[in-house]
Amino acid sequence: MSLQEPKDERNQKQPGEAAPQPQDQTEVIKFAKQSQSTANSAIIPSLFGPGYGTYEVRPENFLLSVLTHTLAIGALLWAFHLAVPSKPPDRIAFNSTPLEPYIPMHVGRAAGGGGGGGDASKLQASAGTPPKATMKQQFTPPTVIIRNEQPKIAIPPTIVADLKIPVSQIGDPLSKLVAPSNGTGVRGGVGSGSGGGVGSGDGRGLGPGSGANFGGGVFRVGNGVSPPRAIFSPDPDYSDEARKAKYQGVVVLNVIVGADGRVHDAAVARSLGMGLDEKAREKVMTWRFDPATREGKPVPVLVSIEVSFNLY
């Protein structure tokens, strides 16, 4: 005879019988919500409550982190600001060429111009002082050796200029030759140039320039010549080489501003290097001016422009 264990009819499922249902659906829903809340708290910590289910988040740590990141971002922005080059407003310094050898008396700044002449003599022009200056038309060019001693109309020699110069023995102020000579130039006048003036230039004035008046070929500011005024002056760019080296300084350009207000030429008078000379000249050539004026009319003028390169 075999012994059989008693069967527990409570745990046995009869064939065809449905699975037992929970007695209280409210308890199931409550348990599910609690499980979801616990999972969310493990993913998203709370600033002022328990976080990660194991410890509390301290508010002072959070605020310290925010402050640290704010300071770090501010430091980066300030460093970027220091690395970006900026330029203070450009200063226009007006050029004045020394003309003392041609001007025996103090007359301030002289306007531009020049002259020259001669009669193709083999000797250089003899030493002397320029003749009387006038702004009227020149009828008789200056001469040391008078070829026509009996002219039909005797008119004193003059040069075209707007300054009164004492008249003594006519000649080239720069010459050291004492013997009388009109110089090696041509087309009348005295000197090695041409045009009926005095000096090495080309014109009816005095000096190494051209046209009339004293000095170079264009006017200078002063003596009735008003300065030009910049109306469009964009900032120059920094070269990559100078920016990497944090190089700073000033480039000085001698600029000819035409009667049309445009820059006709820009030559480097004081170099800075590192590619900044080219950058300054390239940008200044695009500038526009209200032109210089003389007696109400626009005239070309030579000025010096200082272009500053600074890193802030």
pTM summary value: 0.39
Are 290 and 228 spatial neighbours (Cβ–Cβ below 8 Å)? yes
Residue ranges covered by each domain of the chain: 25-82, 88-96+224-311, 113-217
Residue pointed to by tokens 């006017």? 219
pLDDT, tens digit (0-9, with 9 covering 90-100), for 250-309 = 999 999 898 899 998 888 989 988 889 999 999 999 999 999 998 888 888 889 998 888
Closest of 216, 188, 233, 275 to residue 91, by C-alpha: 233
Beta bridge partners of 51: 55
Q: Which of 26-35, 64-73, 88-97 has the highest mean pLDDT?
A: 64-73
The CATH superfamily holding the domain 88-96+224-311 is: TonB (3.30.2420.10)
Which has the minimum average pLDDT: 44-53, 142-151, 195-204, 267-276? 44-53
The shares of helix, strand and coil residues in the chain, as percent rounded to the nearest 5, are 20, 30, 55
